[in-house]
Amino acid sequence: MSVYGGIEAGGSKFECAVGTAPDDLHALETIPTTTPGETIDRVVAFFERAGPVAAIGIGSFGPVDADGDSPTWGYITSTPKPGWANTSIAPELQRRLSVAVAFDTDVNAAALGEHRWGAARGLDTFCYVTVGTGIGGGAMAGGKLLHGFIHPEFGHMRIPHDLEQDPFPGVCPFHGDCWEGLASGRALERRWGRSPAELDGDPRVWSLEAQYLALGLVSVVYVLSPERILVGGGVMRHPGLLPLVQRDVARLMNGYQHAPTIMLPALSPRSGVLGALALAESA
Amino acid sequence: MSVYGGIEAGGSKFECAVGTAPDDLHALETIPTTTPGETIDRVVAFFERAGPVAAIGIGSFGPVDADGDSPTWGYITSTPKPGWANTSIAPELQRRLSVAVAFDTDVNAAALGEHRWGAARGLDTFCYVTVGTGIGGGAMAGGKLLHGFIHPEFGHMRIPHDLEQDPFPGVCPFHGDCWEGLASGRALERRWGRSPAELDGDPRVWSLEAQYLALGLVSVVYVLSPERILVGGGVMRHPGLLPLVQRDVARLMNGYQHAPTIMLPALSPRSGVLGALALAESA
């Protein structure tokens, strides 16, 4: 069995791993995301120490260019993150480590990881939604990671904004009260003036959050028809939120079709880096 | 080249065809949808006259069971249409005509038809949305028709309801003001008291309609990331509606990613029956 490398390239940290499977990791390192130059230097140094590997998979924060035919394949493209717009990730590592590299979004990598070893094993069409600072989504359709025109984003859908209960205008710089604008961790923090972790005791907070999350998931259900929806990310770690979301999705669907199973990912918080490892096989 | 049969099984009529391609149709017949027994008798008689065919493809109104492993594969399942719930379509025709039958939703068949001969040639991930009496959608993802848990529906997503401009509560018996509840032909007719065809001259009607259609399409864009969206169905035949929808989608996306091309299907109104013909090849 070949040894692969996996990188979950995140906005705050790069998780790097070498191994063959979740129970056979030879090395694991968390590198803080600073400048592209420094961060990538440290990633290269990690693989030089922990390698050799047959190939490397990268699941990256975005927006990314994951189109294999594009001249900027493997780049982070138009991110507002200072210094990171138009950064070569995959070609740079390919060149410096002389190894084949596969590249996809962080959420598609997480979906792949859950498909291989976690809560989506044996499924054909499912999605992975992460509710953290932002809201993102990855999906597999008919057994293949979904790319399409750019790649799924999920977070920027419009949902009904409950203005009576919630006059908060939303935090998305592009859309104001889109799904991410209303229901991301950043929205929670801005609306209530405290971080999600500090909001534990207030039921109003979580019933509104569940309502908004469910409204977005219902659109996911009706467009993609996933067999299962995995919801991960920091916000979903709030105890009791998942059952509220499940209840609200069922209430909103109101008996028109069965709701798919909605559950937490099994590999969290390593779905992404393990998925990147699985992705390496396709390099 | 084999000669195939295609059936678009609709709630008001069954379109049947025999041939090899849009420019090589040997027979074409429209059969009104009455009772299941009478309708299917007339379909059988058509193929007995116009055949023989190597296989038949059926794109059906629904909800349908398109799961090849299910004991009720090829059935229309829980439709509210009187007399048609739990009706065997594909197995019945297979038995009576002794021919292989492929079965899918009407909108997936339409998507396949447009992929083979129409406005989606060469695409990998796209969708076909029909805005008629209801709103439905079919999609191809990664080169394969999307099925998933049940199949995409599209119409029952929730969208922001512009209550200030539009206090109309929506017509969906399950959800009230879901996408179909607000923007289908039935909603137009009920809201304004006239059929879509009679509403031609009133710009308020069509700017509200475009706004609602665009809100739903934005969710489709962010979940599926289609390379192209084909919008068909009777309501879309209103001249001038498509450009309003295109404008509103761009306005709602507000520069966050490019909007995919949104256009009318090329084979309309025969996308469905021609797609059924293409579907027959997979029987």
Answer with the residue of higher pLDDT: A115 or A197: A115
Q: What's the gap in Å between the CA of B48 and the closest CA on chain A?
A: 36
pLDDT band at A242 (very low <50, low <70, confident <90, very high): very high
Instruction: Kindly give the pairing relationship between strand B4-9 and strand A144-145.
Output: unpaired
Answer whether A152's CB lies under 8 Å from B224's CB: yes
How far apart CA B199 and CA B193 sit, in angstroms, is 9
Which stretches of chain B score pLDDT less than 70?
A: none
Give contacts of B139 with chain A, Cβ < 8 Å: 223
CB of B225 within 8 Å of any CB in chain A?
yes
Residue B150: the pLDDT is 72
CB pairs under 8 A between A and B: 148
pTM score, two decimals?
Answer: 0.94
How far apart CA A110 and CA A106 sit, in angstroms, is 6
CB of A224 within 8 Å of any CB in chain B?
yes
In this structure, of A21-25, A144-148, A154-158, A178-182, the range with the lowest mean pLDDT score is: A144-148
Contact check, Cβ <8 Å, A147/B125: yes
Instruction: Please give the share of chain A, as a percent, with pLDDT higher than 90.
Output: 87
- Tens digit of each residue's pLDDT (9 = 90 or more) over A204-232: 999 999 999 999 999 999 999 999 999 99
Residue A153: the pLDDT is 83
How far apart CA B182 and CA B160 sit, in angstroms, is 10
Residue A258: the pLDDT is 81
Helix (H, G, I), strand (E, B) or coil at A16: strand
Which residue in B221, B269, B262 sits closest to B245, CA to CA?
A: B262
Residue of B nearest to A216 (CA): B158
Sort A279 into a burial class: Cβ within 10 Å, 0-12 / 13-18 / 19+.
buried
Which residues are CB-contacts of A115 (< 8 A; sequence separation ≥ 6)? Answer: A121, A123, A126, A140, A278
Answer with the residue of higher pLDDT: A279 or A68: A279
Chain B segment 45-104 residues within 8 A of A by beta carbon are 63
Residue B125: the pLDDT is 94
Instruction: Kindly give the pairing relationship between strand B135-141 and strand B144-145.
Output: antiparallel
Out of B142, B160, B260, closest to residue A149 by CB: B260
Contact check, Cβ <8 Å, B158/A215: yes
- Tens digit of each residue's pLDDT (9 = 90 or more) over B34-84: 999 999 999 999 999 998 999 999 999 988 999 899 999 999 998 878 899
The mean pLDDT of chain A is 94
- Tens digit of each residue's pLDDT (9 = 90 or more) over A76-96: 998 878 899 999 999 999 999
Rounded to a whole number of angstroms, the CA Rg of chain A reads 19
CB of B219 within 8 Å of any CB in chain A?
yes
